[in-house]
Amino acid sequence: MARDPRYDVLFEEVKIGPVTAPNRFYQVPHCNGMGTQYPSSMAAMRGVKAEGGWGVVCTEECDFHHTGDVTPAIEARLWTEQDIPIMARMVESVKRHGSLAGCELVYGGMAGHNLYSRDVAMAPVAIPMEGTAPGQARAMDKTDIANFRRWHRQAAVRARDAGFDIVYVYASHNLCLLQHFLAHRYNTRMDEYGGSIENRVRLLREVIEDTKEAVGDTMGVAVRLCVDELIGAEGIQANEDGRAAVELLADLPDLWDVNVSEWDKDSQTARFSEEGFQEPFIGWVKEVTNKPVVAVGRYTSVDRMVSLVNKGIADFIGAARPSIADPFLPRKVEEGRIDDIRECIGCNICVSADFMNMPMRCTQNPTTGEEWRRGWHPEQIAEKGSDGRVLVVGGGPAGLEASRALGQRGYAVTLAEAGTELGGHLNRVSQLPGLSTWARVRDWRIGQLHKLANVEIFLDSKLDANQVREFGFDHVAIATGSSWRGDAMGSTHRTPIEGIHEKGILTPNDVMAGAELEGPVIIYDDEHYFMASVLAELAASQGHKVVYVTTAPDAAHWTHNTMEQSLIQKRLIEMGAELVMGKHIAQIGDQEIELACNFTDNRSWMDRGSLIMVTMRDAHDALYSELVADPAALETAGIKSVTAIGDCLAPGLIAAAVYSGHKYARELDTEVPIDSPPFRREVMGLSNDWPGELP
Ligand code: ADP
Ligand code: SF4
């Protein structure tokens, strides 16, 4: 198919100083939990995006000096020449496809911690560290400032030597020294680097000038700037010093990559922000500079991207998450395949991997992070390994993805779903407050399945073991999902609370199915992800008084990893919910519950209406168990394999269910080792200097 002419503007070249981007699709720097620890994985992941048409592909944060070390985060690194080959691998992987490679140099300052190097961090003034204190940074004197400028210059040269086309001067996300100099709450210096905005911008200006002088004839020099910290007058504000900083530096850099800060504000989830949510804060930047501007805001709508350019808000469509969810987004636009775009759902599971220091994963894109180690390409898949016919039982995220990927391999697939629509638990979850974009996981897969003539779909088809055996398939995948328990068993209560079944307890399944609630509604969160908090919102929206009890120290505790925790807690407080933290249920009465403090075991009774248990889920594995319990019957039926996938195997994240379905499809009719890892590993290079001098 040909590209829609309305989208031509997205494929115009744009100059960034001495280099030229082939189009306006710009993968802004983003963390991925691979960095220098899994460099081949990182390089292959970036390369796939270039192949998918992103005209500029950047690194994650790249620390460049041992006094600005961002350990324990797994990021890129350019401390010395020793690091260049790793970064060169990523550059080569990107440039092979004609895209530009950008490097985001970072100096952590008071957000850096130096946990590996054990140096003392530096800041504009002596001040406690940001984040994982205890510890304080020391104030920089003029020698420190001169040293910092030299280190940045040296790093820019190393980035050039690694082959990068663009180098960043980074002042955003509250993660780096240059932003700390800009922010008046940190920078209370009395010299020419503190005080007025002219003074606070001085170091940024000097570093841009240094970088241009060092490499500016060969590389584009980009500035990534936080123009608003969204904390009011205490922080940088778009209508104050944010704008003043851009005005003062207007045409000095070759490109402005602007956003709001911190990272949780820049990468808000769909639950808390709309596509394009940053426009009110960055819309003015092009008025004050002639240099190209990059804007982010979880853009997945191509029309919206076009209007961003046509309205003069930005020259580049910046994307981190949309490029993770679909590395081939630009290519699909170019080929007129808009409905093949796999849109980001804005869940931040990708972000959670970075917080947990492990390779990135994505709810929508099961291949991310697996490009090199398993050889999974987001668009290509091996042809079927046999003419075997496959039955997939269950049409939730796991069954949908398995059927889709098996269909893509060319297998004859039958998908049987008990319900009258596909989507599994997502159908109801995506109707909960704030989660409508999650339906994209279902909708994209249904759209793809409809294009596959070799996949048959049967709705309203609840299968039992006899039926499965009668049909005569070669392989059967059981993707029958899970449902919530209502007996309190979970992370805290490792066994059910006795007698609980007579107490009229509700589960999330009951509530999502429309169970009548009675106030005060007590929601017991022993799972700590999103479910309890969205049910609290639902109950409050129906006018009930809500008591949110969690066994964790704060609301929706695990969502620290998706950067939603503070927003969730704020929302619960603002809607009038009573929050009870660090307690668990000791006893349940008919109209009350007894809570026990996790630390002291002090007890207190609380009146209750409805009690909703959010603890754990049970796999619907009865069909699977019945089938595998009778191998002779399977053999008679000609069934060669029966495999449980998704929540039926082990209830978990939607991302895990999608991954499980995808993995099943990839591995069918292949030899998968089980005594050793079924993927390539990156074993770190050993130093040549061993044993050297030992104490
Ligand atoms: P997952 O997240 O693993 O995909 P879900 O719970 O979202 O799991 O989806 C499971 C799907 O399986 C549901 O749509 C459910 O209706 C369907 N299902 C469960 N049991 C059967 C069965 N015996 N036959 C057909 N479909 C089934
Ligand atoms: Fe988007 Fe979620 Fe994938 Fe991140 S994990 S890219 S937010 S779909």
Ligand 1 proximity of 620 Cβ (cutoff 6 Å): yes
Look at residue 686 and tell me whether its pLDDT is greater than 80. Answer: no
pLDDT of residue 590: 87
Whole-number Å distance, alpha carbon 416 to ligand 1 midpoint, is 9
CATH T-level topology, domain 5-355: TIM Barrel (3.20.20)
Q: Which two tokens stand for residue 526?
A: 């022993």
Distance between CA atoms of residues 41 and 37, nearest Å: 9
Distance between CA atoms of residues 483 and 443, nearest Å: 22
Look at residue 598 and tell me whether its pLDDT is greater than 90. Answer: yes
Residues 6+ apart with CB under 8 A from 220: 16, 17, 18, 19, 100, 102, 165, 166, 167, 254, 255
Distance between CA atoms of residues 135 and 113, nearest Å: 8
Q: Ligand 1: which of 480, 509, 617 to mutate, judged by most atoms within 8 Å of the beta carbon?
A: 480
Whole-number Å distance, alpha carbon 216 to ligand 2 midpoint, is 35
pTM (2 decimals)? Answer: 0.97
Q: Which two tokens stand for residue 441?
A: 């996981």
List 30, 113, 152, 173, catalytic entry: 173
For residue 72, say if its preceding peptide bond is cis, omega within 30 degrees of 0: yes
For residue 29, say if its preceding peptide bond is cis, omega within 30 degrees of 0: no
pLDDT of residue 426: 98
Look at residue 685 and tell me whether its pLDDT is greater than 80. Answer: no
Whole-number Å distance, alpha carbon 96 to ligand 2 midpoint, is 26
Distance between CA atoms of residues 547 and 590, nearest Å: 17
3-state secondary structure 517-566: CCCCEEEEECCCCCHHHHHHHHHHHCCCCEEEEECCCCCCHHHHCCCCHH
User: Within its chain, how far is the Cα of 401 from the centroid?
Assistant: 19
pLDDT of residue 683: 86
Q: Is 648 an active-site residue?
A: no
- Confidence band, pLDDT 50/70/90 cuts, at residue 378: very high
Q: In this structure, are residues 112 and 69 in contact, taking their beta carbons and an 8 Å threshold?
A: yes
Atom of ligand 1 nearest to the CA of 424: 14
pLDDT of residue 132: 67
Look at residue 527 and tell me whether its pLDDT is greater than 90. Answer: yes
pLDDT digits (tens, 9 = 90+) for 69-95: 999 889 999 999 999 999 999 999 999
Looking at residues 88-110, what average pLDDT do you find? 97
- Confidence band, pLDDT 50/70/90 cuts, at residue 204: very high
Q: Which ligand is nearest to the CA of 269?
A: 2
Atom of ligand 2 nearest to the CA of 349: 5
Q: Span 389-481+620-667: which CATH code? A: 3.40.50.720
pLDDT of residue 690: 85
Ligand 1 proximity of 253 Cβ (cutoff 6 Å): no
Could you give the C-alpha distances from 426 to 436, 441, 532, in angstroms and in order? 10, 8, 16
Q: Is 544 an active-site residue?
A: no
Q: Is 266 an active-site residue?
A: yes
Q: In this structure, are residues 601 and 628 in contact, taking their beta carbons and an 8 Å threshold?
A: no
- Shortest-distance Cα residue to atom 24 of ligand 1: 462
pLDDT digits (tens, 9 = 90+) for 155-186: 999 999 999 999 999 999 888 999 999 999 99
Lowest mean pLDDT among 189-203, 407-421, 493-507: 493-507
Ligand 1 proximity of 460 Cβ (cutoff 6 Å): no
List 26, 107, 170, 664, catalytic entry: 170
> Can you give the residue ranges of every domain in the chain?
5-355, 389-481+620-667, 488-616
Percent of the chain past pLDDT 70, that is, above it, reads 100
- Confidence band, pLDDT 50/70/90 cuts, at residue 534: very high
Q: In this structure, are residues 34 and 359 in contact, taking their beta carbons and an 8 Å threshold?
A: yes
- Confidence band, pLDDT 50/70/90 cuts, at residue 410: very high
- Shortest-distance Cα residue to atom 8 of ligand 1: 481
pLDDT of residue 687: 78
User: Within its chain, how far is the Cα of 377 from the centroid?
Assistant: 19
- Confidence band, pLDDT 50/70/90 cuts, at residue 519: confident
Looking at residues 670-682, what average pLDDT do you find? 94
Residue labelled with tokens 């591995």: 667
Looking at residues 467-483, what average pLDDT do you find? 96
Could you give the C-alpha distances from 365 to 444, 451, 654, 669, in angstroms and in order? 11, 19, 11, 22
Distance between CA atoms of residues 545 and 262, nearest Å: 33
Residue labelled with tokens 């990559």: 257
Q: Span 488-616: which CATH code? A: 3.50.50.60
pLDDT of residue 175: 87
Q: What is the distance in angstroms between the CA of the first residue and the CA of the last residue of the chain?
A: 68
Q: Is 548 an active-site residue?
A: no
Q: Taking CB atoms and a 6 Å cutoff, what residues make up the pocket around ligand 2? A: 321, 324-325, 344-350, 362-364
Whole-number Å distance, alpha carbon 482 to ligand 1 midpoint, is 8
- Let me know the angle formed at the C-alpha of 392 by 387 and 396, rounded to the nearest 5 degrees: 145
* Count of Cβ atoms closer than 10 Å to residue 607 Cβ: 12
Ligand 1 proximity of 402 Cβ (cutoff 6 Å): no
